[in-house]
Amino acid sequence: MKRWIAYWNIMLKDMRTYYLKPPNISWGLIFPVAWTGMFFVKSGRGLESILSLLPGVMAISILFGTTSMLSVTVTFEKKNRSFERLLLAPIPLELLMLAKTSGAILFGTINAFVPVFIGLFLADLSQVQWLTVIPAVVMIAIASTFLGLFIAVSVSEVFEAQTFSNFFRFPMIFLCGLFFPVVSLPVFLKPISFMLPLTYGVDILHGAVQGDNMLPLWVDFLLITLYCVVLFFISLRNIYRKWII
């Protein structure tokens, strides 16, 4: 019980102090809208292209809404030493890191539905399989958050965390099948694509929205879950090794 009070309040504090700030909220709105607009214009087709763009835009919204958050909630707090307070709290490190990430996961999940909400007015979303979309969105949010966590615990400066996360994020837009199918990528880029967790999350979304997934959905789910677990435990190990000196 006591642990959950701590868990809840850590998450709540991060939400209040970092996530629910006007810049983050507007970023969460503007970014997906801008990307949708860009690809919409580029596709040159009518409103029917919305459905094929939706999975990519949702993934981008999640990716940008989560990864950079960890550079504040973790790297910044490590830098100003307030993170030490959390390390001193009588809760297991696993639970602490879940508390530090669940705010970002929630924020990313909500972000994903901003383009969906816009899409509702522009296209017919009746064929979308929501029961697959929702878990896929949550898994993408978890995977991108843990990627952000991995970056945040690997560096010591906030700017490094941000630079490093862009180093991952921008190539992922093009490599993970967000807007261009992975199968159409040059042969030498394909292996990289299959090494990135987002590829599997986006594949599920494509399947759920338009039924054009390249791998069976259970394989996608399995692989992205595996990525989450591995990223989380590598991050924990890095904290043990680097922060408890």
Q: Decide: is 74 part of the binding site for other proteins (CB under 8 A).
A: no
Angle at 8 between CA 147 and CA 166, to 5 degrees: 20
8 A C-beta contact, residue 65 and residue 142:
no
| Residue 194 CA from chain centroid, whole number | 17
Based on C-alpha coordinates, what's the Rg of the chain?
18
Q: Which is nearer to other proteins, 1 or 41 (CB)?
A: 1
Residues 4-33 that bind other proteins (CB under 8 A): 5-6, 8-10, 13, 17
Q: Decide: is 215 part of the binding site for other proteins (CB under 8 A).
A: no
For 86, which DSSP code?
Answer: H
Interface stretch with other proteins, choices 1-9, 103-111, 114-122, 208-216 (CB under 8 A)? 1-9
Interface stretch with other proteins, choices 3-11, 113-121, 146-154, 166-174 (CB under 8 A)? 3-11
Can you tell me which of 26, 82, 127, 163 binds other proteins, judged by CB under 8 A? Answer: 82
Give the residue carrying structure tokens 């094929």.
Answer: 52
Count of CB atoms situated within 10 Å of the CB of 13: 13
Q: What is the largest CA-CA distance in the chain?
A: 58
Q: How far is the CB of 151 from other proteins (least distance, A)?
A: 22
The site for other proteins, by CB under 8 A, has a size of 24
Q: Decide: is 91 part of the binding site for other proteins (CB under 8 A).
A: yes
Q: How far is the CB of 85 from other proteins (least distance, A)?
A: 6
Q: Decide: is 84 part of the binding site for other proteins (CB under 8 A).
A: yes
Q: How far is the CB of 238 from other proteins (least distance, A)?
A: 14
Q: Decide: is 2 part of the binding site for other proteins (CB under 8 A).
A: yes
8 A C-beta contact, residue 175 and residue 184:
no
Name the strand (E) or helix (H) holding 66: helix 50-66
Interface stretch with other proteins, choices 88-96, 148-156, 171-179, 229-237 (CB under 8 A)? 88-96
Q: Decide: is 185 part of the binding site for other proteins (CB under 8 A).
A: no
37 contact partners, CB below 8 Å, separation of at least 6: none
8 A C-beta contact, residue 39 and residue 128:
no
8 A C-beta contact, residue 236 and residue 94:
yes
Q: How far is the CB of 76 from other proteins (least distance, A)?
A: 10
Applying CB under 8 A, the residues found at the interface with other proteins are: 1-3, 5-6, 8-10, 13, 17, 80-82, 84-92, 244-245
